[in-house]
Structure 1
Amino acid sequence: MLNWLFKTPSLPLDLSFLGADMHSHLLPGIDDGVGDAQEAVAMIRQMKAYGYHHLITTPHIIWDCYRNTPATIAEGLQTVRAACAEAGLDIQLDAAAEYFLDEHFSELLSAGEPLLTLPGKRVLVELPYTTPLMNTPEILFSIIGHGYQPVLAHPERYAYYHADPTIFQKLSDQGCELQLNALSLTGHYGEGVTRTAEWLLKHRLVTFLGSDAHRISHVEQLKKLTKRKDLKDYPFQNYKLSPKGI
């Protein structure tokens, strides 16, 4: 495993047109992402080789599972930044969070607690995978009412919307940005997810393309995107999240 720290892959994949990745789980031990700093460094090194120059990692905040706070996330970020510096890896690394729309999130919002955001006061949120919330549009609209820009993580992975993905057009029209997982275009999550991902692209509803990388195998699977020449022409807005632009 130590070899990961010193190996820079020579690969044809070029994701420099994205500039920034805004969804990943690179902070060790605080959610279901990387297990240690060595794996984080290996993933970051490989993503830099793909052309990313800015990574905004987004640990889960799911109060029943991962009770992360700004303090725990800041500590994890410092750990990984220090490991990157020790490995001689120079890349801009920041952190926000991926908030599950649970009661804890509603309490934070109602209490006016500062949220961990992407640039532009964007809040990355996720829904349950198996059972739809009855008031999803209302919750997302309430986020806007509190002065934030909601970004819905991996909409293509919510199987209960596969039969009628037009819900995403409605959410987009109401002001919610949508973030597609890159691996959804590779078949990684199954045919239904890939089909919905392609529908979202076809209808120009995707704002951001994110890796949602939890482990190094996810980063390695991004190589499958070399077959997707159309992605460079898609109007992804990842560049808006990085001061360096593209």
Structure 2
Amino acid sequence: MLHFFSKKLFLKDLLEDFVDIHNHILPGIDDGAKNIEESLYLVKKMNELGIKQFIPTPHIMQEFYPNTYDTIGNAYQILLGALNPKLFNNITLNPAAEYMLDSHFESLLERRGLFTLKKDYVLIEMSYFQAPLNLESILFKIKTKGYLPVLAHPERYTFYHKNLSYYKRLKQLGCFFQLNMLSLSDHYGKNVEKTASYLIEKQLIDFIGTDIHNERHIDKLSNLILNKKATEYLKQIIENTNRTFSVI
């Protein structure tokens, strides 16, 4: 997949056998794939980029996407049953979830009933408007319940952009950071791209994922050109993601 005759380095050149720990490819249960046809298209195109292992992470957000083991399991079985083994014989799918840090999450946490990425790693997210007032308390509870919190796309929380030092505080509290691939471009805006560069430069990122929702995301990922300055550390992040979450 390498572009030997190009001076540009494309992100897809680093994705051979990648384990994608954050995507929304399950059909019809959140703001990702709307139906099975779109799910199959996304899987096909992601596989063409080199992705072999998928951990679908539908939102669990009580007011908007009140998903459960049943709704996620049903969507997973629908996708699994629709995959043509002749076309998709080299991939694995293991569903998990992306949890909004709301009161419903705290009730699930009390029952220790979370759908994890692998072992005790749990993918969490916050509102883009503000962090929970009791964020540090929630992170402490997650840890005391035996889970390892993985904060999805920390670079996208704009309320931290003028307080970059707080990212280090979150790391001290035991938070792992998962970068969105499209944050390596201006897809979410220049400030998000700038913050992503800062987090990479300070070596605060642990894992990376696509956060794929639709065809437009695929097209942008396929053509994303990397900043050569950050490439070596980015390779380490990809390798760490694969090493931590591979089931093969």
TM-score by length of 2: 0.88
Structure-2 residue corresponding to 1:100: 100
CA distance in 2, matches of 1:182, 1:194: 10
Q: Please say if residues 38 and 83 of structure 1, whose CA atoms lie closer than 8 Å, have aligned partners that are also in contact.
A: no
Structure-2 residue corresponding to 1:126: 125
| 1:153-176 residue CA offsets vs partner (Å, 9 max, x unmatched) | 111111111101221111112211
* More moved, 13-22 vs 179-188: 13-22
Q: Please say if residues 17 and 53 of structure 2, whose CA atoms lie closer than 8 Å, have aligned partners that are also in contact.
A: no
Question: What SS class does the counterpart of residue 144 from structure 1 fall into?
Answer: helix
The CA RMSD measured in Å over matched residues stands at 1.8
1:243 is matched with which residue: 238, 243, 247? 247
Amino acid at match of 2:98: E
Q: Please say if residues 180 and 209 of structure 2, whose CA atoms lie closer than 8 Å, have aligned partners that are also in contact.
A: yes
Question: What SS class does the counterpart of residue 168 from structure 1 fall into?
Answer: helix
Amino acid at match of 2:123: L
* More moved, 165-174 vs 184-193: 165-174
Change (3 A) 1:132 1:74: same
Percent sequence identity is 39
Question: What SS class does the counterpart of residue 43 from structure 1 fall into?
Answer: helix
Structure-2 residue corresponding to 1:180: 179
TM-score by length of 1: 0.89
Question: What SS class does the counterpart of residue 124 from structure 2 fall into?
Answer: strand
Amino acid at match of 1:106: E
Q: Please say if residues 15 and 50 of structure 1, whose CA atoms lie closer than 8 Å, have aligned partners that are also in contact.
A: no
Q: Please say if residues 120 and 149 of structure 1, whose CA atoms lie closer than 8 Å, have aligned partners that are also in contact.
A: no
Q: Please say if residues 17 and 232 of structure 1, whose CA atoms lie closer than 8 Å, have aligned partners that are also in contact.
A: no
Q: Please say if residues 186 and 225 of structure 1, whose CA atoms lie closer than 8 Å, have aligned partners that are also in contact.
A: yes
Task: Write the mapping of 1:117-156 to structure 2, written as runs, cut at 5 A.
Answer: 117-156=116-155
Change (3 A) 1:13 1:109: closer
Task: Write the mapping of 1:208-223 to structure 2, written as runs, cut at 5 A.
Answer: 208-223=207-222
Change (3 A) 1:161 1:22: same
Q: Please say if residues 17 and 52 of structure 2, whose CA atoms lie closer than 8 Å, have aligned partners that are also in contact.
A: no
Structure-1 residue corresponding to 2:3: none
CA distance in 1, matches of 2:136, 2:180: 21
| 1:97-127 residue CA offsets vs partner (Å, 9 max, x unmatched) | 00000000011112x2421001131110001
Q: Please say if residues 15 and 52 of structure 1, whose CA atoms lie closer than 8 Å, have aligned partners that are also in contact.
A: no
Task: Write the mapping of 1:34-183 to structure 2, written as runs, cut at 5 A.
Answer: 34-85=33-84, 88-90=87-89, 91-110=91-110, 112-183=111-182
Query: 5+ unaligned residues in a row in structure 1: which ranges?
Result: 1-10
Question: What SS class does the counterpart of residue 147 from structure 1 fall into?
Answer: coil
Structure-2 residue corresponding to 1:202: 201
Question: How many residues are aligned here?
Answer: 233
Structure-1 residue corresponding to 2:6: none
How far has the Cα of 1:85 moved from its partner? 2.5
